Amino acid sequence: MKGKRIRFAVAAALLVAAVLLALDMILMPDQRLWPFAAAAAAFAAGLAAAGRILNGKKAAPAVEAKKTAPPAGAAPQAAGRPAAKPAAAAPAPAAGDAAPRPRHFPDPMEIAERKYGTAVLEALAAEDRREAAARREKLDLGPADVIGIDGWTVRVQTAPVLFSPELYMRQTEATAVPASAEDAPALRLVADGKELAVYRIEPAPGESFKGKFFHMSARIYMQGDRQHPAAMAPCIQIDGFFSDSADPAARMGSAPAYRMEAVFAGGRIAAVRREMLRGMDLVQKGLRYPGIITPGNVRYIGLCPDCGKSFAFRSYNFPMMQEYPAYSDDGMDVCGIPRGFPGAPERAVEIGGRRFWSYNAFRCPRCGAPYVDYHTYPQLMGDGVYALVHLGREVVRFPEDAKQKMYDSITARRKP
C-alpha cells in the first residue's frame, strides 16, 4: 500500500513541476516560477528514490506479514494453480541473481503470541491449568500416571505436567518392545483418555514388519522456552526401530527406524501449538533436531494437518550434493536442481513434462494438503535444507545432459 501512495505523491509532484514550468514559460514570464518547478521536480525524484528503497526492503519476505510473499524473482503462486514460468531444463540466460533469503527461522511460539496476543494466551493457559488441577484431583493422578505404553498404544496424562511444568521441562520416558502382527502396524497415542493420533508405520516397498519387534521410546515434556511462558504445552514424542529380537539390549544399527511427528496435548494452548505447526518444517514438528545428525535409516511419520492421517517419508541432504530441492506442483516428488543453474532456486524447472519449484510445498499423499510449506515460509528453503521424499518414491533426477550443458557454459565463461 505504501508503494502505491509514494507513486501517487511522485506523480502529483511532477504535475506541480510541469504546471509551474508551463506558467513560467507561457503565461507569466515575469514571475520567475521556474525555481519552484525545479524544486518540485527534485522533490519527485527524491520521493521516487525513497520509494525504491522502501520497496526493496519490503521485497524480503517476513513472517510478520499476514501472507508471506515468496522471495523477489519467484513468481506468485495462485492457490492450487502455481503461475511461475518454468525454465526449460537447459541453461538459459540468468534471470537475475538469486534474491537474498531471510535467515530468520519461523518460531511457532512467536507466531502464536503475535497472532493471539500474550494476554489471550495467558488466559487460555490459566484455563488449561484449572482444568488440569480438577482432572488431577478427580483421577488422583501422580507422576506414575504421566506416560505408559500398553501394546501399540501410548497413554499420557497431561494434568501432572501442566500442574508442575518446571518438573516436566525434563523428559519423562517410557519404553516397550511390542511385536507386530501386521505388515504395517498402527501406533495409537491417547492423551487424557482421547485418541490424539494414529501413526501407521508403513514399511518400504518389499518390506514387512510382521513378526518383528518395535523397540520404542515415548517421551512427554513441557515444550517451550522462558521467553514465551504462556505458549508452553505438554508435547509427546515417539520413536523406535524394528528388530528380529525382543531383547531390550538390541541395537538399532542399520535397522529401519521411525520417528513420529510430535503432538501437543493438554488443552487450549496445545490446540494453538498444533495449529502453528501447519506448514512448518521438520525441526518444529519434532522430527529433526538441530545440530544432531539424523542417521540415514531413520524414516519419519508425519500427521496431515487437514485429513489427520499419517504418512511415511524420508529426507536426503541435498546441499551436500550441491543441489537445491524442488518439489513437483502436486507436492509428491522432489528433484535436485544443481547449484549454479540459472535462476535457481527462484525459478521453476520443467523435467519430463512436470514442473518443479523450490517454493512448492511437500504435500500429504492422502489429501494433498501442504505439509512443509516453502511458499508460506520461504525462509525454510535456506542453506542446510534437506529434500523430503515419500516412502516408496524416488528422487527425480535432473537430466544429465542439461547438467553437462550448464557446466560447459560456466567453464566457457571462466576462460580468459
C-beta of 371: minimal distance to Zn ion in Å? 8
Render the burial of 198-211: b for 16+ CB within 10 Å, e for the rest.
bbebbbeeeeebee
Binders in 249-278 for Zn ion, by CB under 5 A: none
Q: How far is the CB of 367 from Zn ion (least distance, A)?
A: 3
Q: How far is the CB of 281 from Zn ion (least distance, A)?
A: 17
Length, in residues, of the chain? 416
**289 DSSP 8-state letter:** -
H or E stretch at 310: strand 310-316
Angle at 46 between CA 45 and CA 49, to 5 degrees: 85
Q: Which of 2, 251, 366, 397 binds Zn ion (CB under 5 A)?
A: 366
In one-letter notation, the amino acid at residue 223 is Q
Which residues in the 186-245 window bind Zn ion by CB under 5 A?
none
Q: C-beta of 280: minimal distance to Zn ion in Å?
A: 16
Scanning 12-20, 302-310, 312-320, 395-403 for contacts with Zn ion by CB under 5 A, the matching segment is 302-310
**Does residue 106 have a cis bond before it (omega within 30 degrees)?**
no
The nearest distance, CB 303 to Zn ion, in angstroms, is: 9
Nearer to Zn ion, 241 or 311 (CB): 311
Contact call for residue 304 and Zn ion (CB under 5 A): yes
Residue 150 identity: D
Query: Do 179 and 212 contact (CB within 8 A), yes or no?
Result: yes
- Which of 216, 304 has the CB closer to Zn ion? 304
What is the β-pairing status of strands 147-150 and 86-88? unpaired
Q: Which residue lies nearer to Zn ion by CB, 11 or 307?
A: 307
Residue 369 interacting with Zn ion (CB under 5 A) = yes
Segment lying near Zn ion (by CB under 5 A), choices 134-142, 222-230, 231-239, 359-367: 359-367
User: Which of these segments, 96-104, 143-151, 326-334, 358-366, binds Zn ion (CB under 5 A)?
Assistant: 358-366
* CA proximity to 109, closest of 235, 261, 237, 220: 235
Min dist CB 311 to Zn ion, Å, is 8
Q: Are 245 and 213 in contact (CB under 8 A)?
A: yes
Strands 233-243 and 257-260: antiparallel
- Give the ranges where 63-211 is alpha helix by DSSP (H): 108-116, 118-139, 159-163
- Please select the residue that binds Zn ion; options are 132, 231, 364, 396, rule is CB under 5 A: 364
Among 42, 307, 321, 410, binds Zn ion (CB under 5 A): 307
Contact assessment for residue 129 and residue 234, using Cβ atoms and an 8 Å cutoff: no
Stretch that binds Zn ion, among 47-55, 234-242, 274-282, 298-306 (CB under 5 A): 298-306
Q: How far is the CB of 308 from Zn ion (least distance, A)?
A: 7
Q: Which stretch binds Zn ion (CB under 5 A): 23-31, 46-54, 234-242, 360-368?
A: 360-368
Residue 172, judged by CB atoms within 10 A of its CB (0-12, 13-18, 19+), counts as: middle
| Cα–Cα distance, 400 to 21 (Å, whole number) | 63
Does 330 bind Zn ion (CB under 5 A)? Our answer is no
Q: Which residues bind Zn ion (CB under 5 A)?
A: 304, 306-307, 364, 366-367, 369
